[in-house]
Structure 1
Amino acid sequence: MPDTASLRARNLAFWTQTAPGWIRHADRHDELGRPLGTAAMDWLRPRPGERILDVGCGCGGTTAALAEAVAPTGRAVGVDLAESMVAAARRRFPRDRHPGLSFVAADIETVGALPGAPFDAVFSRMALMLLADPVGGCAAIRGSLRPGARLAATVFRDGAANPWLAMAVLGAAPHVGALPPLPLGEEPGPFSFAEPARIERVLTAAGFEGVTVQPHDVTLRVPDEPDAVEWLIEMGPASAAYRAVPPAGQAAARSATAGLLARFGAPGGDYRLPAGLWLITATTPG
């Protein structure tokens, strides 16, 4: 496996290239991707007056929801590796209209002290599995929390529990250019936290206690329409290559992806995509 510095560089390059798709589909992702974080949000139960850290905030939708939950005196801080996504989050949720909300563009593994720390809780939707150094990253998160603080996060389980993820890549791949290298084994990627024993080892080594890893299944309801299929393509590794091809190639990629997703079609004209997650919870020593 490449060393940590190489993995961090790969992460930065990947998310810099992928960010335009996330920005373009930010509203759609807030709506259609909400079930991916609901279990963690429900477990966390943010309360008015608390300070909450959102790790891997993307374009800010989850951070805004946290800020609303802790209003009027609390604060939510979102941190993300992709500077352009953080810039989009600031545009979508300006401080003059959301005074308890702020965003930081940084690598959580190396940023050090975050504004607003120490936090009462940390939330993360589908991001911990993407850390180049999971123990170091989770230790940095723990260092930003007060004693007795709560952690709630979701990650994907394995490929078998999330078959549509591969279909969004395989459908597009023949119609676009070269894709970035796909992660292997425990390299940062959607399934690097597939084994619950690894999650427990990582969080325990990072200084958390009371670690629990529970299976949680949700269904994403995605409309059967070109823009929604495009959202699925642009959320993953085919994103940059998809945007680089002419419209005819993009249409072919969407059509092929829709064909693979047809097995998940449901009455009413949408897709019902099964997502198998781990709900991860823990606390800091109190």
Structure 2
Amino acid sequence: MVHAENGDAVYEGQRRMIELGITGPEGHALSRPPVLEGEATARAIKLAGLKVIGEPVVSGLVLNDSWLWDPDFITAAKYVMSPPIRAAGHGKALQAALSMGTLQLVGTDHCTFNSTQKALGIDDFQKIPNGVNGIEERMHLVWDTMVESGQISVTDYVRVTSTECARIFNIYPRKGAIRAGSDADIIILNPNSSFEISAKSHHSRSDTNVYEGWRGKGKVEVTISGGRVVWLNDELKVFPGSAKNVEMRPFSYLFNGIDKADAKHLSSLKAPVKRFRATT
């Protein structure tokens, strides 16, 4: 896994923003434009080789950067994350790529800071802690944005939120499937039920939520973990000592055929070298 940015270029961008007197949260996005993320992603893919997976995070999938320009610092600062949330068209492009299978699954990069912590950068955007919430909201937002709009099917929803993740991390079918021998980790989502997101009702200790006021369709009403109901009627039921470590063995399906590709590459390196003479 890589953080797809260029540190030296970001540093230069930050320096320029400060020199221009741009110290607010908008300076964060301006200092690390999309071209830097694109360059770093392309470089990572080139270094990695043939098999690459793409995972948009929920914030990039459904939000846009307009809030970074809000005149209220606390409001704007809560949207600061890296790489930054982009302009509206970028989210639409990610949604299209997810629906076509170019991107394989959806994560959150959940990393929250409260308003007091974000205020550390009130005079300098470089000091704003980077990160937004999303782990509690992910399943609802992906359904509302992708399934309700008709961009993906119910089956694809299961794949991009669960099954493909388990396959990539090589814990399928123990996880990511409902079948005999699997771990009985199940959610029951009611597509006809509505939800509203707010910092006043979420289960995080943070006093802010980047999806504040979002209303949509598709609500998780029951969660079963290891065969036990742990979430029902908006109430969490905790079973101390029930957590288990799940070993993620190396070499998932993504490595299939890599040995043959390597052998072909090595054989090409052993081929006779052709020499050319320049005439100009």
TM-score scaled by length of structure 2: 0.29
Instruction: Determine which structure has the larger strand proportion and give its number.
Output: 1
Instruction: Determine which structure has the larger helix proportion and give its number.
Output: 1
Largest Rg, 1 or 2: 2
TM-score scaled by length of structure 1: 0.29
**Greater relative contact order structure (CA < 8 Å, 6+ sep):** 1
